[in-house]
Amino acid sequence: MVARLHPLRRAADRHPTLQKILLGCGITGSAWWVAMDVVGSMRYPGYSYADQVISELSAQGAPTRTFMLVFSGVPYAALLTAFGIGIWRAAGGSRAARLTGALVITEAVWGLAGGIAFPMATREVMAAGQDTLRNQMHQWYGIGMPILFALAVGFGSRLLGRRFRYYSYATILVIFMAGLLMSQHNNALAANVPTPWLGVEERIVAYLPMLWYAVLAAGLLRAESAGSAAPRERRAISPRGMQHLPQ
C-alpha cells in the first residue's frame, strides 16, 4: 500500500492543487455520508431516523441496501481514502500524520468491506431466532470502526495545535458516552421491540467522526495555504506550513 502511494505523492508535489483536492475530500466525504444517511432513511418505508440504527439501512433484505452501498458506501470509501492520501502527503517528516493518514485509509476500506461482506440482519429475522453468521460477524466488524477512529484521533490530535487536541479528546469522550447509551438497547433491538432514541444515539457516534474529519481537513487546508504563501525559509522549517495554524 505504501509503495502505491508514492506516485500520488509525487504527483501532488508537481500539482499543488491536487493536494488541496485530496484534503478537501475529507470535508466532501463527511458531508456526503451524512447526506446519504438522511436520504436513505427517507427511502426506507416505516424507518425511524430517531429510533433505528444506521446499519438497518443496509441490512440483509432491507429495501435500501443497494442504494446505501452504491451511493453511500462506495463514494464515501473513495473520498475518505483520497483524504487519507492527502494527510499522508501533508505529513512531511511527521510520523503522527503518516499514521493518521494510514488509519483513515484503513477505516475507509474496513467500513466498505464490512458493509458488503457482513451486513446486519433485520430486526424481524433476529426476533424470529434466525440469526445469521454474517450478522454475528457484523457485530465484530462494527467494533473495529470506533477502534480505528480512536487510533486516528490519537495520532491526528497532534497535528493542529492545542485547541484541536482538546476538541479531539472531547469527541472521543462524547462518542464513548453515547456508545454506553446505545448498549442499553441491545436486547430490545434483537427482540424487535421499540428502541426510542437509539437512532439519535448512534448518529452521535457516527456523525462526530464525520465532523472531526471535516475539521481536520479544514485545518490542514489552512496549513497548506499558509505554507504555500510563506517565504521559502519558513516553509523549510515546517513541512506543509503546519506551524502557521493558530494554537
Conformation bin of residue 188: beta by default, left when phi > 0, alpha when psi is -120 to 50: alpha
DSSP helix/strand/coil, 231: coil
Contact in structure between 142 and 112 (CB atoms under 8 Å): no
* Residue 205, CA distances (Å) to 199, 202, 218 in order: 10, 5, 21
The ranges assigned to domains in the chain are 2-230
Give the burial class of 61: count Cβ atoms within 10 A of its Cβ; 0-12 exposed, 13-18 middle, 19 or more buried.
Answer: exposed
Q: Rounded to the nearest 5°, which phi and psi values hold at 78?
A: -65, -45
Reading the chain (247 residues) residue by residue, the pLDDT tens digits are 444 445 445 555 556 789 999 999 999 999 999 999 999 999 999 999 999 999 999 999 999 999 999 999 999 999 999 999 999 998 877 899 999 999 999 999 999 999 999 999 999 999 998 877 888 899 888 889 999 999 999 999 999 999 999 999 999 999 999 999 999 999 999 999 999 999 999 999 999 999 999 999 999 999 888 765 544 433 433 444 444 443 4
Q: Rounded to the nearest 5°, which phi and psi values hold at 159?
A: -85, -25
Residues contacting 18, CB < 8 A, separation 6+: 11, 12
C-alpha cell at 213: 474529519
